[in-house]
Structure 1
Amino acid sequence: MLNISRTKIKESIPFSGAKSLVMTLPVKEAQKRVRILTAVVLVFFLILFLPWTQNVRSKGYVTALRPDQRPQTIHSIIAGRIEKWYVSEGAYVAKGDTILQISEIKDEYFDSLLLPRTQQQVDSKALSAQSYGGKVDALKNQIEALKRNNILKIQQANNKLKMAELKVESDSIKFQQAQVNYEIGAQQLERWEALYKEGLRSLTDLESRRLKFQDVQTKVIAAENDYLSSQNALISAQIELETIDNEFKDKLAKAESDMYSAMSSQFDAEATVSKLENQYSNYEARTGFRYILAPQNGYLARAIQVGIGETIKEGDAILNIVPADASLAVEMYVQPVDLPLIKVGNKVRFIFDGWPAIVFSGWPQISNGTFGGVVVAMDQFAGSNNQYRVLVIEDPEEEPWPEMLRMGSGADGIALLNDVPVWYEIWRQLNGFPADYYTQEQKDQLAKEKK
């Protein structure tokens, strides 16, 4: 109804009984605005004193905590040609399962009897080394026999030498005795001749004395001859002793030379055996490399080399595998200016790609759809993007991460720092100050130390 007339109906008709009509009557708008403004100011003032959780936001992606549980590429150790595939992409394989088979493409490994023939060479060389070892043992025994024989011969020669020395001494005494008898006989012969001249002895007695004297002369010559012979025998015994020693040294040197030559041949044969055994082991291991096996339980993600008959080189990537059982973690990157604010044990909230969330970064308690994490490791140097890598695992005190979460998924991380009033955070943001580095407990401790 338009209020055109100057006559006011509400002044003549009471409306106190009509509640719905009273509610339509205008009131003083100024009072209403004041009340609303007052309420807004009071709410804003109260909000300024609410706790606000400082945080550092960073992008990252889901990975595995342990390096051996992260996606890996399987390479070919040897060059070959693909012969057969046993699995398909996306299939689950257990550790040790055969993925594909390759064949040799190098001519030195074409022989189908390569291992038996190499083993035959190893056995032959081993027998050769044993033969040389037997020869060395025989020569050692020969050397020992020569030494024992030499000892006996030297003892025999020494005995002979001693006998010759005693013979020389005995002949020398006999020779001296013969000389004494000769001198006595000559004196007696002179006295007999003097007596004969004086007529005191007969001619027969004189001639008998002369015959005896001749026997004495004969004995002197025989004794001297025996003495010289015994001296020659002594010299021969000394020469024989020296000859025995020289012959022993010659025979010993020859036997030792033969022994060392046999030992050298034995060592060469043993070295050849070791080399052939190493070669056999390499051939045997290479035979196993013709089958590409799964290094751990996982899923085949993508085949890089495909088809049958395709040639691959040493170290070429063949396919990718994702471990089945892995401890998930988030690999997030922070700016150098924010690195001092993060330490091991800090709490982090995550928004994973594919899981909707309502986030209040300053009030993580009322956020919905986020998942908790704990910092476990930080890099000590910046990467190629001039940022530091931080590893975060699932917080055991929070709700577990989604079961369908896979490695490589994106994650928006919110690293939670100190709890401060809202007015302090607004003041810090307006002045461009960094977030607080120290925790509240550390601040309280510093304050106590100052007091």
Structure 2
Amino acid sequence: MTASSSHSQQELAQRTKRLVPTRPGKRRIVVTLLVTITLLAAVLKLTPFQQTVIGNGKVGVFTVMDRPQTIDAQIGGRLVLWKVQEGQTVQKGQLLAEIEDTESRFLSQRRTALLDQQLAAQRLRKAEGERRIAEIEAQLGSLESSRGAQIPAASERQGQARNRLAVARQNVIVAQKALDATKQVATKQAEQRIAQATQRVAQAKDRLRQAEQTVEADKVSVDVNRIQRDRLADLLKDGLRSQREFELADQAFVAAEVKLKQSKLAVEIAQKEILNAEADLKFAKATGIQADIDVQRATAQVVSARETLASAQRDVTVFGFEQSRVDADTSATLSRERANLQQVKESLAAISDSIAKAELERENMQARVAQQKIYAPMTGRVSRIGKTVGPGQTVKKDDELLEIVPETQDQAVELVLTGFDAPLVTVGRKARLQFNGFPAVQIQGFPQAAVGTFAGVVTNMDPTDDGSGRVRVWIQPDTEAIAAGKESPWPSSARLRPGIDTIGWVQLDTVPLWYELWRQFNAFPANYTDAAKPSGGKDGKDGKDKKAAKPFKDGDIKVPKR
């Protein structure tokens, strides 16, 4: 009994020892848990996560002139020639179709030739009118010159005649008075002459005396003005008077000297007049016997003056008639020629207007004829032909005939972003693109692990939304990365056709994995960078920002504020 219970207790102790771990086993579990947590924290902190925004779009062509072009009918008419089929490659300038104009105004085949004939006739008429205007203007110039010479000459001759007439009348009066005076006082002429001569001597002496007095007064004035000028000059040096006052004083001094010289000259003249008057007095005393001779001379002068007066009256009358005739003739001729000139100018203006209208109509006709033939505006392939197109079909103006897709290597993706994601994207950001029909695996946040996607760069963003809160961005191939061999080139245009649906991931900043998990758990937006710089960084070489390339520190991550 005792041996049996002892055996049972030993067996129970062994089972308990197997079920309950020893102390070293507990330590291994704790260490394993700590290592696992540490490794997980290190992975979350050190693993970089590439933030992105996703958008959908289509493959397109960024250059406007390389996009598919729709060829429309420029005029309405009937298709008489069609030379292309869908899928055919056409060259720039190649004839595609021809339309026969059905508008009644342009049906005549001779309309252009008739317009040319009309233009030639109108141009001949215009040249003739211009020649006629030049002739009339030259004739008017000659008439104006002739009139300008004849009328002043006639007026000058008439004025001279009138002057001679007035002089002749005055001479007759003077001669008659002289004759009457001579006859009445012939016996007293000598005495009168003596008295007159004596009076002239006295008058000359009076003038001499006045002149001498004036000289004395002017000498005093010169002295006074000299003293005044010198005084102002001294005051000017001391700054007590202005330059203007000195100049006025100097002018007054000069004027006084000039006046003194004039007074002295008057004294000399008065002295000469005294000598002349005394000579006349001597002559008058010796010419008493000339009274009869003077009477005869005065009579002859009266007769001559009357003959001159009659001749001057005839000249005034003749020259007056001549001036009126010249004025009337030249005025009538000038008026007639000016009327002719105005009439020719009006005709020339009407001809010029007709020529302008004919030239415009001819150019419109040529443009209309040119629009009948449709040429390829570029080299490319015919992708689509209109539904109503075919030989003999009638088309209307602006009807779509066909569409040409240019041959171009200009590839781009037109991506549409929501208004929530658009503020996070700037021109220059990198992007990954997945094209429909091309197998790809995209691991969001880890672009380096993606397979089948292609690299791109944001090259343009619309400044406004499309009216529904969405913003369009253009993404083109990352040529730098492709040229460096870091990325694969995009598929050729033959495979990657415009219109293929595309999914794009625009790359933002690189953050630690723990931060991204924390951000998405709290529904915070991605990091916002205000500066318009590419996600590849400041240097733009290795596709990473210099700041993002550094090891992450605790202070590098900033929690965005809501």
- Alpha-carbon RMSD across the aligned residues, in angstroms, is 3.5
Match of 1:108 among 105, 108, 111: 105
User: What code does the residue aligned with 1:131 have?
Assistant: E
Contact persistence 1:70–1:326 (CA under 8 A)? no
The equivalent residue for 2:403 is: 320
1:48 pairs with 2:131: no
Deviations 1:206-241 (A, max 9, x none): xxxxxxxxxx9xx98x99698457425413412431
Match of 2:474 among 391, 397, 411: 391
1:152 CA displacement: 4.0
| 3-state SS of 2:92 partner | coil
The equivalent residue for 2:339 is: 257
Deviations 1:263-309 (A, max 9, x none): 23223322322222222122112111101111111111111131222
How many pairs are equivalent?
Answer: 385
Deviations 1:402-430 (A, max 9, x none): 11211111111011111111111111001
User: What code does the residue aligned with 2:363 have?
Assistant: S
| 3-state SS of 1:315 partner | coil
User: What code does the residue aligned with 1:280 have?
Assistant: R
User: What code does the residue aligned with 2:488 have?
Assistant: E
Q: How does 1:69-80 map to 2 (within 5 A)?
A: 69-80=66-77
1:319 CA displacement: 1.3
User: What code does the residue aligned with 1:241 have?
Assistant: Q
The equivalent residue for 1:371 is: 454
In the aligned structure 2, how far is the partner of 1:67 from the partner of 1:182? 115
Deviations 1:127-177 (A, max 9, x none): 111111011111111111212322342355246436744774797589779
The equivalent residue for 1:282 is: 364
Shift of the 394–177 alpha-carbon distance from structure 1 to 2, 3 Å rule, reads closer
Shift of the 227–58 alpha-carbon distance from structure 1 to 2, 3 Å rule, reads same
Contact persistence 1:80–1:103 (CA under 8 A)? yes
In the aligned structure 1, how far is the partner of 2:468 from the partner of 2:166? 110
| 3-state SS of 2:109 partner | coil
1:402 pairs with 2:491: yes
User: What code does the residue aligned with 2:439 have?
Assistant: P
Shift of the 418–174 alpha-carbon distance from structure 1 to 2, 3 Å rule, reads closer
Deviations 1:4-42 (A, max 9, x none): xxxxxxxxxxxxxxxxxxxxxxx99x99xx79x959767
In the aligned structure 1, how far is the partner of 2:450 from the partner of 2:159? 119
Deviations 1:101-133 (A, max 9, x none): 101010000010111111111111111111110
| 3-state SS of 1:271 partner | helix
| 3-state SS of 2:516 partner | helix
The equivalent residue for 1:362 is: 445
Which of the pair is proportionally richer in strand? 1
The equivalent residue for 2:286 is: none
In the aligned structure 2, how far is the partner of 1:181 from the partner of 1:343? 120
1:97 pairs with 2:97: no
In the aligned structure 2, how far is the partner of 1:181 from the partner of 1:119? 91
In the aligned structure 2, how far is the partner of 1:268 from the partner of 1:43? 99
Shift of the 40–318 alpha-carbon distance from structure 1 to 2, 3 Å rule, reads farther
The equivalent residue for 1:430 is: 521
Q: Percent identity?
A: 29
| 3-state SS of 2:526 partner | coil
The equivalent residue for 2:354 is: 272
| 3-state SS of 2:423 partner | helix
The equivalent residue for 2:139 is: 142
Which of the pair is proportionally richer in helix? 2
Shift of the 180–437 alpha-carbon distance from structure 1 to 2, 3 Å rule, reads closer
1:242 CA displacement: 3.7
1:237 pairs with 2:234: no
In the aligned structure 1, how far is the partner of 2:49 from the partner of 2:168? 132
In the aligned structure 2, how far is the partner of 1:341 from the partner of 1:177? 119
1:291 pairs with 2:367: no
Match of 1:126 among 120, 123, 126: 123
1:315 CA displacement: 2.0
The equivalent residue for 1:333 is: 416
In the aligned structure 2, how far is the partner of 1:259 from the partner of 1:428? 92
User: What code does the residue aligned with 1:354 have?
Assistant: G
Shift of the 337–179 alpha-carbon distance from structure 1 to 2, 3 Å rule, reads same
1:381 pairs with 2:464: yes
Match of 1:303 among 381, 385, 394: 385
The equivalent residue for 1:8 is: none
Shift of the 442–367 alpha-carbon distance from structure 1 to 2, 3 Å rule, reads closer
- Of stretches 236-245 and 393-402 in structure 1, the one that deviates more from structure 2 is 236-245
Normalised by the length of structure 1, the TM-score is 0.76
Shift of the 418–235 alpha-carbon distance from structure 1 to 2, 3 Å rule, reads same
Contact persistence 1:299–1:323 (CA under 8 A)? yes
The equivalent residue for 1:4 is: none
In the aligned structure 1, how far is the partner of 2:316 from the partner of 2:163? 9
1:379 CA displacement: 0.4
Shift of the 181–369 alpha-carbon distance from structure 1 to 2, 3 Å rule, reads closer
Contact persistence 1:418–1:436 (CA under 8 A)? yes
Q: How does 1:179-198 map to 2 (within 5 A)?
A: none
| 3-state SS of 2:369 partner | helix
Contact persistence 1:297–1:325 (CA under 8 A)? no
Contact persistence 1:69–1:326 (CA under 8 A)? no
